[in-house]
Structure 1
Amino acid sequence: MAVPSAFHDAALAPLTSLVTTADPAGLLPAREQMALSLGWHIVLACFGVAFPAMILLAHWRGAWRGDEVAMRLARRWSKVAAVLFAIGAVSGTVLSFELGLLWPGLMGTFGDVLGLPFAFEGISFFVEAIFLGLYLYGWGRVPPKRHALFLLPMGAAGVFGTFCVLSVNAWMNDPTGFRIVGGEVVDVDPWAAMFNDQVWLQFLHMWVAAFMVVGFGVASVYAVGMLRGRLDAHHRLGFAIPFGFATAAAIAQPLVGHLLGLRVADHQPAKLAAFELATETESPSPLRLGGILVDGEPRFHLDIPYLGSIIARNSLTKPVQGLDTIPAADRPPVNITHLAFQSMVGIGTLLALAVVVYWFARWRRRDLLDPGTRFHRPFLRLVAASGVLAVVALEAGWVATEVGRQPWIVYGIMRTSEAAGDNSGLWWLYGASVLLYGAMTAGAVVVLRSMARRWREGSEDLPSPYAPEPEPLDSPARARAGAGR
């Protein structure tokens, strides 16, 4: 919600009276540490949200239609999910300690407001881990149709945990569920804070983005395989399932983003002005492609008349409020916000066009996966790059929304500088985190590449985290599972 100036003055006065004009020593390392941790973990969180749905579809196809290729895909993907969950647990644990360490002003003031979604997120994490373990354990031990049911609570827990985290971020954009009296937070309503007005669209935007990242990411792996001549049924189905999810997400995301952008215009005009590089209020507003601010003036851009008002305000004439109407101290870093926003939108548009071209060609009975089809290899090259592009778009979107909210950590109530501490030793934590995340990234790449190599060589029963050794093929447990088909 937009914060009325009277409320803003009354609420902020008791907080700002304790703050000096100089930035605290812990501000910059806290920013860097949070950017590293969230930017790294958010990719893994996407797999927790979207991957179970893809595994479920493959498992359903295998169990109900007797498709051994699909069942093999489900089993392999579940092992990949286990590896990603294992390293995600490490980065998630780091994040759980960072809020209080990096932002003592935020958690010390608003800890009672934000405690509920964090508690639910912790419960969701354990539920997800339990059912992932049960799913991995169930191969060869549980009838295939019943076995697939373990994926439902696993996927639901991943989605709900993400919703809880997004509710905190949405609350930062739309603070509600409390009052400040005499410098103290009182009348706390944690349910109102968790289910604030911004959370639904912001969560939907992230939920769809997760399917884009995982859908294009997994499809890109099989596109690379097909470029290397592996055009068998395994690679085709491995491409088709995630690409189908990515298609739906890529087409839906522009609509979701448009609806979310309309709320930004009403609640955070400074962020929208930075998105659009609107230095002055214009009616109608153009869509400004490219460009940066140089000495306060936009340069190197292309203006498309009227389109800014249409996209940002759903109108031919409504203006985008200019930065000149916003106090200089309340403006975000404009160039970073603008370029990140346009990178997100540009990549998202490219990926949406790619899926439209593919399905249009299929409608014209031209399968771009067939080697004899024109544009076969260019299309596969684009899909091979789409996984990385989707991750870049995801990161750019988070940069746009987080940097665009600055200088506020709680919009209109608390500035980011007020939330940081004076611990300059946080730079050591940042350095250690760079080493930790670098080691985990390298470890994940080595493990996943080793698994892929062994699968190509014909090995199927690879060891999994949280799972015992598979039952022998002639064991009674496997016989009972097979009878339950």
Structure 2
Amino acid sequence: MDNVLAARALMGISLGFHIIYATIGVGLPLMLMIAEGLSLRTGDDLYHRLARRWVRPAGLLFAIGAISGTVLSFELGLLWPRFMAFSGPLIGLPFSMEGFAFFTEAIFLALYIYGEKRLSRRMLFFCTIPITVAAAASAVFVISANAWMNTPAGFRIENGVLGDVQPFLALANPAWAHEAVHGTLAAYVATGFAMAGIYAWTLLRGHESDYSKRALTLSLAVATVSLPLMLISGDWAAMAVAVQQKPKLAAMEALFPTTRGAPLFIGGWPDPASGEVRYGIKIPKLLSVLAHRDPDALVEGLDAFPPGTAPDPRFVHPFFDLMVGSSFIMLAPAVWFWWLRWRRREVPLGKWPLRALLCASPFGMIALESGWLVTEFGRQPWIARGQMRVADGVTQQTGIGLVLLTFLIIYLALTAGLLKLLLRPAPIGAGGGTTQGGRHVDS
């Protein structure tokens, strides 16, 4: 395994695990804040106990995310030293701001966890606000660094030397806004559906408690509100990509020839040899409509770019379809649940609606991971688009393959340990339960 492939695989594995930890670490604080806010507004103590139950996984994921994020920062310097030497003055600001957001979240999370018996309910609620804002800010600043790799800005190259560095322009690069909004909403959707799936499973097992019903309703409410906003922001992002990253759009949609009135392909397998999409569903002119709001607009295909400068659609198009398809898979059971909820005026406990939610619950994370792969594969062969190729940024040190295997084992062990801690029963009184006859029960 050569250095480029090994380094990419190691970063891919590390980021793949970190994204899961970080996603839930961004989504859970919002649910904590809503639960505490509802507790204050309604005077219902069950919402407060729900929040106290959720703070345990939030704290664990915050810690695990910090560990995996620290590993990634070392990997950037060790695996990609040439890239970091070039980009450090430009993406150092968002990483520094992310560190500030991280410590802000840590302070208020500690106050919230250990202030249960020392702070009023109102103060506990106020603690959840900076936790939620800081968690989202961390995501936004990290996404800024990734967006800069897609649309580099805030510098000039003079005689082969980096100059006129403007860190704030680099932070607010052209792709930052739509990527940050879309990515943050995707975290809320993924977390909401994951939590809804857990409580749908609990209800299917016969634990029909008020606690499980409230938890399911609140989780799915967060996901359902965020999902259409995520789809709208995804449309905004696609229109921006059509202007800012034309090779990526061509690879996402597997468009080989430059076409006026370009069709959209749903599914199918791109065949670069023939320049066709096999087995896909072709919808005439829809790509031109979605990208430029004009059915006869010109969309540049992969043939418009020099060989070796555009991404491979065989990697990008399937993951793009998986991302979009996963989003619509989640939409159907959510609409069904809320329609039954409105019709019956109570939480629907039928097996089929709950099974549908359970089956849909992983698709938020699948959509998010697929979207990240579209972003990364869609930038190839560049590590900073138009400025530095992946092969030019990698380390020349050997032995990365062994490190790759070692870290794979570490991440699997870390995830197994996290799951063991998350599945361990909560202590009596640590959340949505009370004691009756020395036995812990949901209430």
**TM-score, length-scaled by structure 1:** 0.85
Cα displacement string for residues 292-336 of structure 1 (whole angstroms, at most 9, x for unaligned residues): 123543211110122222222222111331111222211212111
Q: Is the 8 A contact 2:188 2:226 kept in 1?
A: yes
Partner of 2:381: 407
- Secondary structure (helix, strand or coil) at the match of 1:385 reads helix
Task: State the shift of 1:353 in Å.
Answer: 2.6
Partner of 1:397: 371
What amino acid sits opposite 1:178 in the alignment?
Answer: F
Aligned counterparts, 1:65-144, within 5 A: 65-144=42-121
Measured in 2, the distance between the counterparts of 1:300 and 1:113 equals 43
Q: Is the 8 A contact 1:48 1:155 kept in 2?
A: no
What amino acid sits opposite 1:128 in the alignment?
Answer: E
Structure 1, gaps ≥5 residues long: 1-23, 372-376, 462-485
Task: State the shift of 1:455 in Å.
Answer: 7.8
Distance 1:285 1:458, change over 3 A: closer
Task: State the shift of 1:367 in Å.
Answer: 5.3
Aligned counterparts, 1:285-300, within 5 A: 285-294=262-271, 296-300=275-279
Partner of 1:273: 250
Task: State the shift of 1:460 in Å.
Answer: 7.2
Greater shift in the superposed pair: 156-165 or 306-315: 306-315
Partner of 2:177: 200
Please point out which of 243, 264, 278 is paired with 2:220: 243
Structure 2, gaps ≥5 residues long: 436-443
Partner of 1:339: 318
Please point out which of 47, 54, 59 is paired with 2:31: 54
1:353 aligns with 2:327: no
Aligned counterparts, 1:304-315, within 5 A: 304-315=283-294
1:326 aligns with 2:305: yes
Task: State the shift of 1:354 in Å.
Answer: 2.5
Q: Is the 8 A contact 2:203 2:349 kept in 1?
A: no
Greater shift in the superposed pair: 301-310 or 438-447: 301-310
Measured in 1, the distance between the counterparts of 2:189 and 2:432 equals 30
What amino acid sits opposite 1:405 in the alignment?
Answer: R
Q: Is the 8 A contact 1:25 1:421 kept in 2?
A: no
Q: Is the 8 A contact 1:309 1:320 kept in 2?
A: yes
Task: State the shift of 1:209 in Å.
Answer: 0.1
Measured in 1, the distance between the counterparts of 2:431 and 2:300 equals 60
Measured in 1, the distance between the counterparts of 2:56 and 2:123 equals 19
Distance 1:330 1:233, change over 3 A: same
Q: For this pair of structures, how many residues does the alignment match?
A: 433
Measured in 2, the distance between the counterparts of 1:340 and 1:181 equals 38
Q: Is the 8 A contact 1:290 1:339 kept in 2?
A: yes
Measured in 2, the distance between the counterparts of 1:458 and 1:145 equals 19
Measured in 2, the distance between the counterparts of 1:54 and 1:441 equals 23
Q: Percent identity of the aligned residues?
A: 38
Q: Is the 8 A contact 1:64 1:145 kept in 2?
A: no
Distance 1:359 1:457, change over 3 A: closer
- Secondary structure (helix, strand or coil) at the match of 1:216 reads helix
**TM-score, length-scaled by structure 2:** 0.93
Q: Is the 8 A contact 1:104 1:420 kept in 2?
A: yes
Please point out which of 214, 217, 228 is paired with 2:191: 214
Partner of 2:232: 255
What amino acid sits opposite 1:310 in the alignment?
Answer: V
Measured in 1, the distance between the counterparts of 2:172 and 2:306 equals 30
Partner of 1:447: 421
Measured in 2, the distance between the counterparts of 1:138 and 1:271 equals 48
Measured in 2, the distance between the counterparts of 1:392 and 1:95 equals 21
Please point out which of 160, 164, 168 is paired with 2:141: 164
Partner of 1:472: none
